[in-house]
Amino acid sequence: MIFADLLRSRRRHQLTADDLAALEASVSGLRSLPARTTMISRDEPVRTSTYLMEGFMCRYMDDQKGDRQLVAVHVAGDFVDLHGFPLGYLDHDLATLTACQVAQVPHAALDGLMVTRPNLTKLLWFSTLLDAAMHREWIFRLGRLDAIARVSHFICEIETKLRAVGRSDGSSFHLPMTQADLGETCGITAVHMNRMLRELKDRQLMTIRRNQVDIINPAGLAELGEFDPSYLFLDNTG
């Protein structure tokens, strides 16, 4: 069952068995990718899209000095570059954080599905717009929150996403990102990220140690990060 986590906790019930079977039939291959590897570079034409079955990936852009800005962090169940199907190329790089298992779907097959399966098409469209909604929240985070609130917000977001696909129990989960990665996500330096994480620990909100996140006070963390999960379009709000 390749697409076991696709749209899980998010309208998955609208995916009929037929649609799922058609999607699975469109898969051209499964691949294993090593950790910390750039899979697609910006501007290169793409002819397949990638579904992430297991692992963590991220999308990022570079500035003139070569510093990165992450624009998305992906977990199991995400169609990481489905937007490349209508767009034709990516405006950013796509890389793995951990070793990953992915399934690839040729765009030619997706064109076929668009003709015969409007319901599936609309759900795939929905999934790309979910990413856009997260982008908007990231804009909000960078534009309106200070450093400690940004970190809190991001941790709440990633926890909620992981919980939606059964990878978090609500308080504890694996997050394979260094403090430098987190800084590149939140628009602050690694040094300042370190200080913010210390402060979150001091305030008894959460700890990170060896890629393991423990949320001590979920409500307090969400409050500090002004986190409201409605932009994640979950079936069961909360």
Partner DNA sequence: CGCTGTCTTGAGGACGGTCAATGTTCGTGG
Partner DNA sequence: CCACGAACATTGACCGTCCTCAAGACAGCG
What does the binding site for DNA look like in residue numbers (CB under 7 A)? 146-148, 178-180, 187-192, 194-195, 197-198, 210
| Minimum separation from the CB atom of position 103 to DNA (A) | 27
User: Residues in the site for a copy of itself, rule: CB under 8 A?
Assistant: 42-43, 59, 61, 63-64, 67, 69, 71, 83, 86-87, 91-92, 111, 114-115, 118, 121-123, 125-126, 128-133, 135-140, 142-145, 184, 186-187, 226, 230-231, 233
Radius of gyration for the alpha carbons in the chain, expressed in angstroms and rounded:
18
Nearer to a copy of itself, 52 or 53 (CB): 52
Question: Rounded to whole angstroms, how far apart are CA atoms 124 and 118?
Answer: 10
Residue 91 binding result from a copy of itself, DNA, none, given CB thresholds of 5 to 8 Å by partner type: a copy of itself
Max Cα-Cα span within the chain: 56
Long-range contacts of 200-204 (CB under 8 A, 24+ apart): 200/148, 200/151, 200/152
144 binds, among DNA, a copy of itself, none (CB under 5 to 8 A by kind): a copy of itself
> CB of 160 within 8 A of CB of 215?
no
Residue 14 CB, nearest approach to a copy of itself (Å): 11
Listing DSSP states for 195-236 in one string gives HHHHHHHHTTSEEEETTEEEES-HHHHHHHTT--GGGG--SS
Of a copy of itself, DNA, none, which one does residue 189 interact with (CB within 5 to 8 Å by kind)? DNA
Provide, rounded to whole angstroms, the least separation between the CB of residue 148 and DNA.
Answer: 6
Would you say 117 or 201 has its CB closer to DNA?
A: 201
- Which H or E run contains 105? strand 100-106
Task: Tell me the residue type at 196.
Answer: M
